[in-house]
Amino acid sequence: MASRVSALAKPRGVWWEGLGRDERLWVWLTVIWGIAMFLMIAFVWPLIGEEQNRLHAYRVDPATFASQAEAFIQQYQIGQRDGVPVVAPPPGGDVYLDARAFAWQPVIQLKRGETYRFLISSRDVQHGFSLVMPPHSINVQVLPGYVTVLELTPEKTGEFPLICNEYCGLGHHLMIGRIIVTE
């Protein structure tokens, strides 16, 4: 067995040796644990979980996205809240969510138990979609020039604040929107 050397000193001679019993045991435990975590992420959760990371994305010209979002608001607007349009898209339909410094547009009213496809993008800088439902939150990144596509199914009624969690300028803390879920 080679003799052991301080970490601060130059090792002399041959220091390579096989693993002792203790090390072998620990290395096996770490390998097994690493594989277990990989299986959980790649295969187990995708089978059993209800919260999946299946984001899609496509590129878009920010101006095009802005006009699509405007058209969406025109079509489904049902009212106003604090001067912000409130829309009620059809169950199962697309929801355009338009981020800009420093607002989320529109306020969205959804039906519990229905699945909606959210199309989220920014007109200017990067923003962070953060739907807050303490003690949890759902967060995705929003970039100008890309649409983040995310399917969401609300299963609880109520009002959910939508905040921005990517720093987007000096008014970052003013940026807030709302998603309302009804029966």
Partner 1 sequence: MATAATMRRCEITGLSVDRSAERLIMLNAVTAVVYLTIGGVLALLIALTRWQAVHLLAPQRFYEFVSTHGMVMLIFWILFFEVAGLIFASTVLLSTRMVIPWLSWIAYLMMLGGSVIATVLMLSGQATVMFTSYPPLRAETPWYYAAVLVFAVGAILAVVHFFVNIVAARLRGDVGSLPLFTFALMGAAIIALWSLLSGALALFPVFLWALGVIPEVDPGIYRLLYWGLGHGAQQVNLAAMVGVWYGLASLTTGARPLNEGLSRIAIVLYVLFINMGAMHHLLVDPGLGTWVKNVNASYFMYAAVMGSLIHAFSIPASMELALRERGYRRGLFEWLRRAPWGEPGFAALVVSMILFGLLGGISGVIIGGPQVNMISHNTLLVPAHFHMTVVAGTTLAFMGIAYYLVPLIFQRQLLFRRLAQWQPYVYGLGMLIFGIGMGLAGHWGVPRRHWDITFSTAPVLGVNLQELRPEIAVFLAMMGIGGIIAVIGGAMFVAVAVATVFVGQRTARPAVGRIVPEAFSPYPAIAGGSGEPAAAAAHRTFEVPGTLVISVVFLILFIFLYGFSWFELSRVPWKIG
Q: Looking only at residues 69 through 98 of this chain, which bind partner 1 when binding is defined by CB under 8 A?
A: 81-84
Could you tell me the two tokens for 81? 């809240």
**What does the alpha-carbon distance between residue 115 and residue 93 come to, in Å, rounded to a whole number?**
8
Pick one of Cu ion, partner 1, none as the site partner of residue 135 (Cβ within 5 to 8 A by kind). partner 1
CB of 181 to partner 1, least distance (A): 9
Residue 11 near which of partner 1, Cu ion, none (CB within 5-8 Å, type-dependent): partner 1
Contacts 24+ apart (CB under 8 A), 165-174: 165/128, 165/129, 165/130, 165/139, 166/126, 166/127, 166/128, 166/141, 166/142, 168/101, 168/102, 168/124, 168/125, 168/126, 168/127, 169/101, 169/102, 169/125, 171/101, 171/102, 172/102, 174/102
DSSP conformational letter for 172: G
Q: Identify the burial level of 120 via C-beta atoms within 10 angstroms of its C-beta, where 0-12 means exposed, 13-18 middle and 19 or more buried.
A: buried
* Binding to partner 1 in span 92-151, by CB under 8 A: 103, 107, 115, 124-126, 128, 130-151
Residues 33-52 that bind partner 1 (CB under 8 A): 33-35, 37-38, 40-42, 45, 49-52
By CB under 5 A, name the one of 175, 177, 178, 181 that touches Cu ion. 175
Nearest-5° angle of CA 105, CA 108, CA 111?
165
Shortest separation between residue 44's beta carbon and partner 1, angstroms: 9
Kindly identify the residues of this chain, within the stretch 17-56, that bind Cu ion according to CB under 5 A: none
Examine residue 183 and tell whether it contacts partner 1 (CB under 8 A): no
Q: Is 110 in the site for Cu ion (CB under 5 A)?
A: no
Q: Kindly state whether residue 127 participates in binding Cu ion, applying the rule CB under 5 A.
A: yes
Options 71-79, 92-100, 165-173: segment touching partner 1 (CB under 8 A) = 165-173
Size of the site for partner 1 (CB under 8 A): 99
Residues that bind Cu ion (CB under 5 A): 127, 164, 168, 172, 175
